[in-house]
Structure 1
Amino acid sequence: AVEQSGLSAFVTSRMLEQIEKVPLAPLAAELLSAMTDDRRHQRLFDEFTKVVGRFLSDEQALASMREKIREELPSLFNLFRADAYLLKKIIASAGSLLDEVRADPDHPMRTEFDRFVLTFVERLRTSKQYAKRAEKLKRDFLARPELKALAGDMWESLSLFIEQDAKAPNSMIRAHLANMFVEVGRHLAGDAQIRADMNQGFVVALSSFVESQKSGVSKFIADQVKRWDLAQLTRLIEMNIGRDLQYIRFNGMVIGGLAGVALYTVERLFLVG
């Protein structure tokens, strides 16, 4: 029923719209800045050097590199016939450099990496060009069909879990909700200030909502009244407040009669006098 109602598509669409409104560049800048506060970016750098080291130790990767170098510099390697030897020397030097970097927390390459990260964070914060690139990247990512398919799969899994859990006699969701509401009620019962704040908050929120929606509510009521059938409206009024109307009519008749008698009496007195 949930899938047929279109709720899944509605929620997914609203979520993507909200994500679309979030500027990506400043957010990424803050996240990276938080990483640099306790030098966590250096741990990322260590992992990067480990990955490169493993790549340089892979025989298949080395063979691919050797073929690529031979294609790019055929004259050099045809002249010396030493492509394997030169590549091994290059790889050995690179491996030694990576070992030095991992062992030395103050290595110049780490300092250079610090400078690179800080510069990149500052550009994310201030550069309009970086902001445009980040927004384009975000839009391209959100437009990918794989993301919508993933959101649909997640929604389907969640709805299936909720449906199965709701049917279970020992529902976890039901138990957690019951405990949560009991706990909230206990806190509210024991804290008058929270209750007063909540009441005030509800008043402010509802006042703001009514103020913003009053034109729409007025139009809705007016449209509903226009659709009413006059005869049906009269019958409804008679059925619901008919006795009161009869009472008003009777009282009006009595008061009108008394007023008429009084006026007639006054008139006769003046004529006789």
Structure 2
Amino acid sequence: MRLIATGLLVVMAGLFILARHMVPASGHWGYLRAFAEAAMVGGLADWFAVTALFRRPLGLPIPHTAIIPENKDRIADTMAAFLQANFLTPQVVARRLQSLDAAATLGTFLANPRGSEGRLREGATTLLGDILESLDPDKLGGMAKGALRTQIERLELAPLLGQMLGAVIADGRHMPVIESAIRRAALAIEANEDLIRTMIHDRANAVLRWTGLDERLANSVLEGLYKIMAETVVVQDHPLRRKIEEGLSDLAHDLVHDPAMRERVERMKREMLDNPAFATWLDGLWERARARMLAAVRNPQGVLAGQIGTSLADLGRALQQDDRLKLQVNRFARRTLVGVSSRYGGQIVRLVSETVRRWDARTVTDRIEGAVGRDLQFIRINGTLVGGLVGVAIHAVDMAL
């Protein structure tokens, strides 16, 4: 476009030279001369105006030229202020988001894992997998294990355990545990019945062993143990069961309210954290978690084909069909985006301003000229043609007078 505009100016100069040598200046040759002369003036004036935006015409230090490179920083600040005032204010963002249906969009995304959204999800998971593999596993694992250890150190376990135990007792969910423990105790006694009999025989005196009463004593002890355990499991109000429940209730209370018990639990926690076995357990936990994450992101379709994929699809359909859920999600999305624009709008426009400020003047000039330069060359062409037509009109008026 620059070559076309310049070529048109050269053509006008050629026409002017031709018309000037065609005397007399009256008649048709006069109109041609007036057109060419005015077209040259218009073309040169617009060439100067367009060039002065980006650089100094002919390299001359003419005032108020090279406007864009000379005012780069002011342009950056003006762009940032324009963005903040017209796009990133909470009022503007809220008004623009009135028609946003984020719930329907998200619902379509989740309910159609095989479409274009599925390809987007696969690309995202592939990128996540590449990031996980590129990071140093030792350093990343150290950060993850350090963060987990820090959270455990900050967590006061005793009140948490006490509250959990109290909730379990209140809901009656401790009874299966007690019954299971009693059954396991009975199985342990049965498995070690010979050992118990031997202990009783060894501790019985010679008279008992000579009369055979030690065997009867062993049988009585074992039968008594089996009976009390069976009754404890069957009878809901058995005294042993009540004792166990009372002990658990007292333990839950002490974990929450007894400073000595809380200190004892904290001491046990610190001893556990200092134990090398805990560090080994953390290493194994991290390796298993990392392997599972890599397997999941490397096979997104496998993950989506399972329970996770089914749950996501159900959630997507609910977002598409449940009006109340859609209303809540859309309201949350609007509030979140408005909050982001209010909280971080200044930082966003500052990023724009600082980025443009860091560009050198030539970069700014080239980018703006590359974006609008074609239209600016049309100004030169229009200026040449319009100037010529004005010259013809002036010449006609002059001839009429």
What's the TM-score bracket when you normalise by the shorter of the two chains?
A: 0.5 to 0.7
Distance apart, 1:116 and its partner CA: 0.9
Distance apart, 1:96 and its partner CA: 0.7
Residue 48 (str. 1) matches residue 176 (str. 2):
no
Q: Which residue of 2 aligns with 1:147?
A: 281
Distance apart, 1:123 and its partner CA: 1.6
TM-score, normalised via structure 1 length: 0.61
Rg larger for:
2
Q: Which residue of 1 aligns with 2:134?
A: 4
Single out whichever of 190-199 and 106-115 deviates more from structure 2.
190-199
Q: Count how many residue pairs are aligned between Structure 1 and Structure 2.
A: 236
TM-score, normalised via structure 2 length: 0.45
Q: Counterparts of 2:347 and 2:362 in 1: how far apart (Å)? A: 27
Q: Which residue of 2 aligns with 1:173?
A: 303
Q: Counterparts of 1:215 and 1:108 in 2: how far apart (Å)? A: 70
Q: Which residue of 1 aligns with 2:38?
A: none
Q: Which residue of 1 aligns with 2:169?
A: 36
Q: Counterparts of 1:48 and 1:111 in 2: how far apart (Å)? A: 15
Native 8 Å contact 1:33 1:121 kept in 2? yes
Residue 205 (str. 1) matches residue 333 (str. 2):
no
Native 8 Å contact 2:197 2:218 kept in 1? no
Distance apart, 1:107 and its partner CA: 2.8
CA 1:86–1:240: 2 relative to 1, 3 Å: farther
What's the CA shift string for 1:75-108, capped at 9, x where partnerless?
A: xx79x56898879847843651452243143332
CA 1:188–1:117: 2 relative to 1, 3 Å: closer
Q: Counterparts of 2:345 and 2:259 in 1: how far apart (Å)? A: 41
Q: Counterparts of 2:351 and 2:337 in 1: how far apart (Å)? A: 18
Single out whichever of 141-150 and 88-97 deviates more from structure 2.
88-97
Single out whichever of 30-39 and 9-18 deviates more from structure 2.
9-18
Paired AA for residue 261 in structure 2: Y
Paired AA for residue 151 in structure 1: L
Matches within 5 A, 1:83-162: 89=217, 92-93=220-221, 96-97=224-225, 99-103=227-231, 104-138=235-269, 141=272, 144-159=278-293, 161-162=295-296
- Structure 1: gaps of 5 or more residues: 71-76, 250-273
CA 1:106–1:204: 2 relative to 1, 3 Å: same
CA 1:230–1:138: 2 relative to 1, 3 Å: farther
Q: Secondary structure at the match of 2:158?
A: helix
With a CA cutoff of 8 Å and minimum separation of 6, indicate the structure with the bigger relative contact order: 2
Native 8 Å contact 1:188 1:194 kept in 2? yes
Q: Counterparts of 1:208 and 1:87 in 2: how far apart (Å)? A: 81
Q: Secondary structure at the match of 1:153?
A: helix
RMSD: 4.5
Single out whichever of 154-163 and 86-95 deviates more from structure 2.
86-95
Q: Counterparts of 1:190 and 1:141 in 2: how far apart (Å)? A: 50
Identity of aligned residues (%): 20
- Structure 2: gaps of 5 or more residues: 1-129, 381-401
